[in-house]
Amino acid sequence: MGEKLTVAMAVTAEERQGAMVAKPGCYSLVFKAPGGGEHVVAREAGDEDPFVPPLNFAMVDYGLYRSGFPDTANFGFLKTLRLRSVLCLCPEPYPEANLEFLRENGIRLFQFGIDGRKEPFVNIPEETIREALKVVLDVRNHPLLIHCKRGKHRTGCVVGCLRKLQHWCLTSIFDEYQRFAAAKARVTDQMFIERFDTSSLRHLSASFSN
């Protein structure tokens, strides 16, 4: 697939404003993935439920998204994704309101609890990341949203390891990681991504274009 120089960006308020299409009575939000796919949300002015993306929301690839932990304010937006699955990387019990939303919309929950503490490096469970990636790589689970608390570190590690399977160079992988983690970027996360052994997953397709 070659080196990826264009990376998905976390969505800020300014970017949401800039994504609005000047058209009387409606607007659209456009989220683009590095591979060229995009998700467009059309909205009529005056609709009751505003579309509010979760913190650090972005499109990773066709049918694959990332974000921080969604709350009730984000449910209207999540409906537009027509999700089939949600992959949560937090160990805490999933909130009842979120579970109800998933049930109402026929969305399957996969939960792989990873401790969000900064240190030590050895606390990042390689086998858990590997099992999470198996869920991500199975297109039967798509459209799929990957999330942790802030959409930075745990989510960044999973996406970073996915990028290795997609043959991204480390420079581009770390650039994408740092765009979401910003000042909170952790060297230990990047070390984990660099050392992660993808050999047991190479038989699984990492292309979601079709």
Catalytic residues: 148
Three-class SS of residue 186?
coil
Q: What is the DSSP letter of 42?
A: E
d(Cα 36, Cα 61) in Å, to the nearest integer?
8
Residue type, 19: A
Neighbours of 79 (CB within 10 A): 16
d(Cα 152, Cα 129) in Å, to the nearest integer?
15
d(Cα 89, Cα 178) in Å, to the nearest integer?
19
Phi, psi of 189 (to 5 degrees): -65, -45
Planar angle of CA 49, 50, 55, nearest 5 degrees: 125
* Structural domains of the chain in order of their starting residue, each with its CATH number: 13-201 (3.90.190.10)
Please give the span between the terminal C-alpha atoms of the chain, in angstroms, as a whole number: 15
**pTM score of the predicted model:** 0.77
pLDDT tens for each residue of 46-79: 555 578 999 999 999 999 999 999 999 999 999 9
pLDDT tens for each residue of 75-129: 999 999 999 999 999 999 999 999 999 999 999 999 999 887 665 445 678 999 9
